[in-house]
Structure 1
Amino acid sequence: MDHIRFPIGQFKPVINPTDEERVFLINRIPEIIKTLRMILSNMEPAQINIPYRQDGWTVKQIVHHLADNDMNAYLRFKRALTEEGPMANSYREDLWAELSDYKNIPIEDSLLLIEILHKRFLILLNHSTTEDFRRILKTQALGEVTLDIALQRFIWHNEHHIAQIQSSIKKNEY
């Protein structure tokens, strides 16, 4: 079940990435929305309401979750750049996935949100210094992490959920 829930494996950070590794990660951000749009373009509306695994989220819930998570990640990143070791807010993603917006808003709304948010995030990241990426953010789940690790987790999180959508497609032969 772990390979279904975590199709790309668990998150494993690089503790002290090089500037080149960081640039490589930042350059992957525009690919996230392109990949999502490509994958979703061939799905029928009913297919987005099928869970990717038993007791898992639907594709629609995953896409809305990505928008919510990326908003939170962006705000956490900005707080870490402007505050000393801020505590990141957490949220009950399982309960958010059951709210009316996840059920009633078209996934295109979340795709547009992700697209615009990633544009802003890219500007912020591309103008951050090596020292900025060493700043600390405190989280309930991970403890203290640098912004380098937060960036890695941001990329991993998106690719993790994209892989879940892809596994749903393969499983259901869309």
Structure 2
Amino acid sequence: MTLEQLKYPIGKFEQPLTITKDILSQWISDISSFPTRLKNEVNHLTDEQLDTQYRPNGWTIRQVIHHCADSHMNSLTRLKLTLTEDQPTIKPYFEERWAELIDSKKMPIAPALKMIEGIHERWTALLNHLTEEENSRIFIHPEHGKTFRIDENIGVYAWHCNHHLAHITETKKRNNWK
């Protein structure tokens, strides 16, 4: 596999021209099912396997799992800010620096999996009850210098779930892990 394929095993996010109810429903389903899909792939992995990088100079599987907890926690916060404020400017964070902190590099994955389960349960409850008007609310992302609609961001995070899950499943395949 090329470095690009290792980085983006499912490709980069491609936003459809029109976000239909069916597309939105599928994205919400991907977000909702992520904790179970993730647990099924990682619960049996050894510490040595968890500390395997998914690509050269990339994060370990352990860091990917902790990153998902961090990232999805931030996404839920951004959603709530967007639902309760008028075009909020969200706070970006240095995900690569967070991944180097001791809790991401050395802690067991169980706390991150618990966080992901709770975050996704609350997140999905909100996502399943958004109105068309709420889906069109926007936030400002200063790092990217543009605005994002809630429905667009749902797609980005459905992709994010599947993207990082593929890092794990592809690493398992390459290493012949069950």
Give the share of equivalent positions with the same residue, in percent: 34
Asked if 1:12 is matched to 2:14, the reply is yes
2:79 alignment counterpart: 77
32-41 or 53-62, which moves further after superposition? 32-41
Structure 2 equivalent of residue 112 of structure 1: 114
2: distance between equivalents of 1:157 and 1:20? 19
In the alignment, which of 146, 164, 170 is matched to residue 161 of structure 1? 164
| Structure 2: segments with no counterpart, 5+ residues | none
Match of 1:90 in 2: 92
How does the TM-score come out when normalised to structure 2?
Answer: 0.93
Deviations 1:145-165 (CA, angstroms, capped at 9, x unpaired): 110100000111111011011
State the one-letter code of the partner of 1:123: A
Within the candidate set 32, 36, 53, 2:34 is matched to 32
Range with bigger deviation, 96-105 or 11-20: 11-20
**How large is the RMSD of aligned CA atoms in angstroms?**
1.3
Q: C-alpha displacement at 1:15, in angstroms? A: 4.1
- How many residue pairs get aligned? The number is 174
User: Runs of 4 or more off by more than 3 Å in structure 1?
Assistant: none
Q: What displacement does 1:33 show?
A: 1.0
Counterpart of 2:132 in 1: which secondary structure? coil
Task: Assess if the C-alpha contact under 8 Å between 1:14 and 1:149 holds in 2.
Answer: no
Pick from 122, 126, 145: which aligns with 1:124? Answer: 126
